[in-house]
Structure 1
């Protein structure tokens, strides 16, 4: 490793000079002090060097000679040659790895990737996010009154959602001074970073703020910078013509900033004048500035003059004088001047006076300076994917101003998260009915059109290599690094994309975890309440990211350890107890989908596999309940009409499904055929809305023929009801009553008549996950029936005129064990899966979940109960003979894992009246699948 070049990439040359000055400052250091000062300076910069004690321990007592400290002290060697010793290798490796990860998560491309990014960034803007942003800012400005800390707002959203592009579009509507504060170590990002601006805003010392600089002194630096910024803008604007509107002036200035390196020269002029003013006496000037009121500062005066000129240049007559906001707050006033700081996380990370009770970040200090301008119609925006929301807009109790904590300043703005989504460049419609087959929607070129603009803009602007590697790019965006390896947060993100994992926001640590997921792993921030105590974060429906998440699960063998991961999340309370039944169901169904894909590609050992693909319903059922059960299910007949075909001979026999993620419905859209074809188009399944009658989950089905186009008349669905009770439930689901099917009046094609459309079959499945069908170890007895056929209960009380149009195939699946799901739940993990459904208690929450440890807990009788699978019951030691409460298999009839409901009529009933009776025919099968 060339540590010299690596050091240059990590620490700018100017900062290295500051470190030299710090190390060799008076009094003249000893060799040991010199080493101590170097390590301390590196740590202040943000690296993680070893301590001097660690260096001595590793290098030995002869460390001064080993590190050539004497030659460095005599200036015969450069200071940073000390870092060439292997004792510093871990620091370099960790720092470069961190920087690479950060650069990738911030989308700093190189080579052809950069060209694609630039091309995508400069393409015509699509969508209304920028217009919404302007209206939102105007409403904020109008409603903030004279409140403190209310004239700025952060934009908090995950990567690739168009934050930078939105504020750039805003700059063409409102006169804007834009800044990109990207650090110097990354020179490949776009837009280009504004050099030297960050040095001043961070405290005038680059990465290292001198220890004698106070918060007030740094605030003074920032105020002087703003003063010269406003004056320079006023000077240049004076030479421009008068325009007809605010928007026309904004667009002209925006264009000027992009021409002939004007922006770089403009900010260089501002920084030069700022530095010249600050050099003579920072401290004296700081104290003088601090004593002045808000409206007496020089930056306030310069901003007032600039806004006055902006109004005149926008076509407002000079006779209409600009007036600052009065005590009435200025209701109805719009923004005239905007400033935004892109990639502003460096401001939140730089701490001034770190050892003082007055400690502040450079961001907090800048907000304090901007607050002095609150009487003007000026608004500032801060953008970053990298920092936590709490660093920008903390809740009231953690705010840095005592007046905010005491609720005397209610105007602090909640961060903006409303950015572009589903704004594809290909037209107003993302998808239209009867235009695409199920195979079409599984193509990458189709999937990228959904979700954030990052993927479709990059794909359409990129060359063949960029298109070919778009999935690899998506994987790395979720992982948050340049590899496909997952840390703990990335694993949570993958689960959120695949199974709709959500967290209990009342738990300590959940808001911080969700902030990390938004920051670095592509989870969307859907909403931020005004109190800012937490955020609403989730995985949005983005097929390209869902496919990438599926591939990451495959690459990292997530399925093998997923049960333990979920148990840990449930055990520490991060997942609400009421969510666990449906979560486990979504997990099993997703795993069944992936199991089919593994089978389709069993001969292909190359990873990652492609998971977005049509799979047959028959294969899906086999993955879910095993081949023997699947074969019997395929023989089932409808249970709501007589003389119906078997499931295998019906259109369901060749039906296909395709889902890589789940979407949450807000109403009954999930139980309509319009919702079904749209879900198939986006490669998703439905999690029904809270309170939805009869149905909890819906997995849409595409009916044959294979080349049929997706639309409401060509789809059906599996309707799932999830139960977590100790006794089986036989609830019936009536898709007709739910209004799922649209009526067709004319043929859809030569192959699809109106009669076929109006007799589409569907499948209903009740998952009785709470049934215990674990076989105790070493026990023998009556074989467990795996599947039984049963007559259905009566569906409806509708009169004798009722005639079923849409055949229903119905079954129930009971248990949560290897017997029930032989391909999905390993024998060794079945106790963990069943524990996921249990409410927290001293058994499920016990630190050691091995059976013998749990038996030791149960022997103390904290809870009395019957035998449960491998665990002995509380009554087993009472008497020589086993009691019925021991639940030996020979003493109690086991519940069949799969039960199929079939139609049955009583003899002698009128033809128009349907009556159902309970008849069960056990299917003789082995005890295992």
Structure 2
């Protein structure tokens, strides 16, 4: 065994360097001599670590050879003890500094047992470090940033070893040095767009935060704590104090937390997948020192690794905060740690987490308590760091009073991309946090007992006890984010399985940039992509213009290629345009239930569906709110190859809208330039162009000359009315009625009135309205702008609402429907749609009292020529479109080559047996039924019995047809 070496700086430095060169480097560098026989792992360590990092760079920028030799000379000892079937010994887990204690034992049996145990442990602890050393073979043309990072890591590791040399054995120094290099294993590939992309994303993070999501989240966590934890016994509350944030990509989940950190103490770490070191994989980048701790293979249990991680994190932070005297300086340090985009602060963050890494590895060497209690590992590692950090956080109490009570400040500990650590490690993190919650309860009890003792001793009232609440936040933005939502029965801890479920937070940012939309100077400006990307999720504003639509398409599909056999992909494409909702069902069939669960999770994780809520059984309820960018992306998927519309896709609401949504697309598809273009930006601009209403109607219904003249006269009359009201339009021949919609969305309430201002908002957004299910008279509304698209809209769009009206539609699946049924609709005022009433500006009449016209679509009856008739007591027209199967109507379906698919889909849905119309109990609170009975009550009483019976039968049949 080699004798102990003196530390660097001693009189024997030169001799030490010569000895190490002769014993270690010379046999490897001079191939003409037979080198000593080494264990293969040790040989690999020599080759890569010593030759690459010392022989090449040591004389210039790395620590000198004598310093490195001080830490690695014990490799010779590993070689002497190893044979062909063994691994080098594991580092000692005792506190002795003597290497002799590892070799000499009291008895042969104990010696053999210790040797076997340490060799076995080495396979899990040391071997992975050596196996990864090949990643440090930097070439001369390697990126300078990668070389500098490796050099910095080695310097820090060496400095730490020298500082702790009195308490670390040679084995421990070697293990620490090698394992410290793991954070820089991944090579940085040269990417010309990497740095500009990082700067672009960092710039976005530093922009003012829009919306109130962070305030709602703070209020949400406080309410959860007060209602589910305060005063509750362990069996009556959730397993741990925390919140899971789950939502689809691009909804600013990370930004929400970083903004929260400006008002409350936030400990934030990002743990991405191994090798995800590019901004293309997500931003902020993962914290590499922490990623190395969570990803490497060790012999420690997951509980111990979680405890070591949090203990090192809290202890290091407590040290940094203790160095600052003023509360404002302590809080400012926390804010700076999470200040991405500032190079100085990011360097400070890297140094901080490198210190956390070093502290965790040092604690790993020192070992754990031998206590057999279930929480012994957490108690051993966490109690002291928790107490120290709590003391420092309590000093920020005044600074954080805006987000927490004075008595118990809230500290948010957020783990971004937490699913990257794996389910076992994540379960241990939850167990660690359950222990932290118990620690908080014990601290609160001790504080109250201390207060009582103080009162008993001197009669004075002590200050209110301060208890810090540590709140865990788990979130992820990758393609397995919904893995965080799990039924209680699937958790590994028995306490967790029977605990009260934690509510999931889904209320993140959406439509927050709408308030930044510039006012349109002209209606024709609507086709600019810069306008559309401010609707929906904040993610769209961060994309580069050059790749905007290709990125949006990939985000919608979850991949670059569309597959018509993928049900989830087809559903998401259709849902982005038709406002389809996914309604999970309860079933005793576990296979069916599992398929539904998988479908919903994939829709959120991979296809940009919005998670509306999560119930207590961990069932996901998803929706597809209006998002113009996704609607255009869906159109770009569908239009070039219309056959990809999958007739097997879920489309329960399709029959109410399928004859309307292709209208604008068909007009664009008729253009030869559009059909032949491969430019997504050009196609998107074409899809965003407004389309004249008369062209839409021509694609929808074939009218005879008289009926067509009636419809055109109605449209022209409204155009003339606009010219009369606005002198600037006098004599303008370019005044027309224009539609602009790329998708549908639901209106969730019944409306008797609708404002032109709301119609203008919908027209700009490109959304048509599918009304609430029980809306009388109509099923939907398409906003219409009447005017010259190139004409000024005035200051702040003040005149835009004066241009707005709408057309309505009502779809029927009646098997029998003649003129009498259509005439019955004509007699309903509601068939003309809600009344138009201005909400803003001075009182003034709207452009039309109700809608321009209503399309009544009877889809199941025999095809006949359309009929146009005036709706009673209005100026609105009813255009009755009869039948679907032939080419007389809906020519847009032929333009898009989808008639056969749509007809087959409609027949499939219409053929379903529906007996619910006759199999229900009357609703005693149904106002419509009540009013009808009051009106006809006298007729029933006055009629003979046979007539009364016939009247009742007639009413039943009418109700059945209306329901269908």
Would you say same fold, with TM above 0.5? yes
Q: Give 2:572's aligned residue.
A: 493
Q: Which residue of 2 aligns with 1:781?
A: none
8 Å CA contact retained: 1:246, 1:311: no
Q: TM-score, normalised by structure 2?
A: 0.61
- 2:494 aligns with 402
1:365 aligns with 2:428: yes
What CA deviation, in whole Å up to 9, does each residue of 1:850-901 have, x standing for no partner? xxxxxxxxxxxxxxxxxxxxxxxxxxxxxxxxxxxxxxxxxxxxxxxxxxxx
* Matching residue within 285, 289, 292 for 1:192: 285
Task: Indicate yes or no: 2:775 matched with 1:692.
Answer: yes
The residue aligned with 2:478 is 386
Question: Where do residues 589-668 of structure 1 align in structure 2 (5 Å cutoff)?
Answer: 589-601=660-672, 604-607=675-678, 608=680, 609-610=683-684, 611-625=687-701, 628-629=702-703, 633-636=707-710, 645-647=713-715, 651=719, 654-668=736-750
Match of 2:625 among 530, 536, 540: 540
Q: 2:534 aligns with which of 438, 441, 449?
A: 449
Shift of 1:569: 3.5
Counterpart secondary structure, 2:504: coil
Q: Secondary structure at the match of 2:769?
A: strand
Name the CA distance, whole Å, in 2 between partners of 1:494 and 1:307: 50
Alignment of 1:580-591 (within 5 A): 580=652, 582-591=653-662
Q: 2:253 aligned with 1:160, yes or no?
A: no
Equivalent pairs, count? 649
SS state at 1:663 partner: strand
Residue 519 of structure 1 corresponds to: 605
Q: Distance in 2 between the 1:312 and 1:759 partners?
A: 64
CA contact (8 A) 1:593 1:620 kept: yes
Cα distance in 2, alignment partners of residues 712 and 316 from structure 1 = 47
Change beyond 3 A, Cα 1:307–1:496: same
Equivalent residues of 2:567, 2:649 under 8 A apart: no
Structure 1 residues 664-704: Cα deviation after superposition (integer angstroms, max 9, x where no partner): 11224684433311110111000112321212111111112
Do residues 824 (structure 1) and 917 (structure 2) align? no
2:852 pairs with 1:769: no
Question: CA contact under 8 A between 1:343 and 1:384: conserved in structure 2?
Answer: yes
The alignment partner of 1:656 has SS state of strand
Q: Distance in 2 between matches of 1:199 and 1:148?
A: 31
Q: How does 1:529-928 map to 2 (within 5 A)?
A: 529=615, 531-555=616-640, 557=641, 559-562=642-645, 565-566=646-647, 568-570=648-650, 580=652, 582-601=653-672, 604-607=675-678, 608=680, 609-610=683-684, 611-625=687-701, 628-629=702-703, 633-636=707-710, 645-647=713-715, 651=719, 654-668=736-750, 671-707=754-790, 709=793, 711-728=800-817, 729-730=821-822, 731-732=825-826, 734=829, 739-742=834-837, 757=847, 762-773=852-863, 785-788=864-867, 795=872, 804=874, 807-819=875-887, 820-824=889-893, 828-829=900-901, 832-840=904-912
What is the SS of the residue equivalent to 2:492? coil
Aligned residue for 2:505?
416
Q: CA, structure 1 residues 27+246, in 2 after alignment: closer, same or farther (shift >3 Å)?
A: closer
Alignment of 1:92-107 (within 5 A): none
- Taking the TM superposition and a 5 Å limit, the aligned residue runs for 1:317-356 are 334-347=408-421, 350=422
CA distance in 2, matches of 1:316, 1:612: 49
Q: 1:469 to 1:601 in 2, by over 3 A?
A: farther
- Equivalent position to 1:471, from 546, 549, 564: 549
Tell me, in whole angstroms, the C-alpha distance in 2 between the residues paired with 1:544 and 1:745. Answer: 29
Decide whether the 8 Å contact of 1:244 with 1:314 is kept in 2.
no
Question: Once the 2 structures are TM-superposed, how far is the Cα of residue 295 of structure 1 from its aligned partner?
Answer: 7.8
Change (3 A) 1:743 1:488: closer
Structure 1 unaligned spans of 5+ = 1-12, 18-24, 30-77, 81-107, 321-329, 352-360, 460-465, 639-644, 749-753, 774-784, 797-803, 843-929
TM-superposed deviation, 1:244 = 5.6
Query: 237, 241, 244: which one pairs with 2:325?
Result: 241
Residue 787 of structure 2 aligns to a residue in which SS? coil
1:630 to 1:137, Cα distance in 2 relative to 1, 3 A: farther
Q: Is 1:131 aligned to 2:215, yes or no? A: yes
Q: How far is 1:545 from its partner?
A: 2.2
Q: Distance in 2 between matches of 1:110 and 1:139?
A: 42
Distance, in Å, in 2 between the alignment partners of 1:747 and 1:316 is 47
- The residue correspondences of 1:288-299 to structure 2 (distance < 5 A) are 288=371, 291-292=374-375, 296-299=379-382
Are the counterparts in 1 of residues 867 and 881 from structure 2 also a CA contact under 8 Å?
Answer: no
Alignment of 1:151 with 2:241, yes or no, is yes
The aligned residue for residue 385 of structure 2 is 302
Partners of 1:822 and 1:755 lie apart in 2 by: 36
Is the 2:303–2:432 contact (alpha carbons within 8 Å) kept by the matching residues of 1? yes
* Greater Cα offset, 218-227 or 500-509: 500-509
Task: Tell me, in whole angstroms, the C-alpha distance in 2 between the residues paired with 1:745 and 1:149.
Answer: 51
Change (3 A) 1:114 1:629: farther
Q: Does the aligned pair in 2 maintain the 1:672–1:739 contact within 8 Å?
A: no
Note closer, same or farther for the CA distance 1:237–1:636 as it changes in structure 2 (3 Å cut).
same
**Preserved CA contact (<8 Å) 1:650 1:761:** no
Q: Matches of 1:239 and 1:746 in 2, distance apart?
A: 59
Distance 1:397 1:443, change over 3 A: same
Q: How high is the TM-score relative to the length of structure 1?
A: 0.63
Q: Supply the distance in 2 between the matched residues of 1:123 and 1:768 (Cα, whole angstroms).
A: 52
2:241–2:471 Cα contact (<8 Å) kept: yes
CA deviations on 1:145-187 (whole Å, 9 max, x unpaired) are 2534231222111111111111111222222221111134122
How many Å separate the matches in 2 of 1:313 and 1:827?
67
The structure that has the greater radius of gyration is 2
1:649–1:672: structure 2 CA closer, same or farther, 3 Å change rule?
closer
Label 1:633 to 1:316 Cα distance change in 2 as closer, same or farther (>3 A).
Answer: closer
The answer to whether the Cα contact below 8 Å between 2:249 and 2:608 also exists between their aligned partners in 1 is yes
Aligned-partner Cα distance in 2 for 1:372–1:294: 10
Note closer, same or farther for the CA distance 1:387–1:364 as it changes in structure 2 (3 Å cut): farther
CA gap of 1:681–1:431, structure 2 versus 1, over 3 A, is farther
Give the distance between the partners of 2:840 and 2:507, measured in 1 at CA: 42
Q: 2: distance between equivalents of 1:176 and 1:289?
A: 33
Mapped partners of 2:356, 2:901: distance in 1: 65
- Between 680-689 and 511-520, report the one with greater CA deviation: 511-520
Tell me: CA distance 1:812–1:300, structure 2 relative to 1, closer, same or farther (3 Å).
farther
Relative CO higher for 1 or 2, CA cutoff 8 Å, sep ≥ 6?
1
**Distance verdict in 2 for CA 1:185–1:390, change over 3 Å:** closer
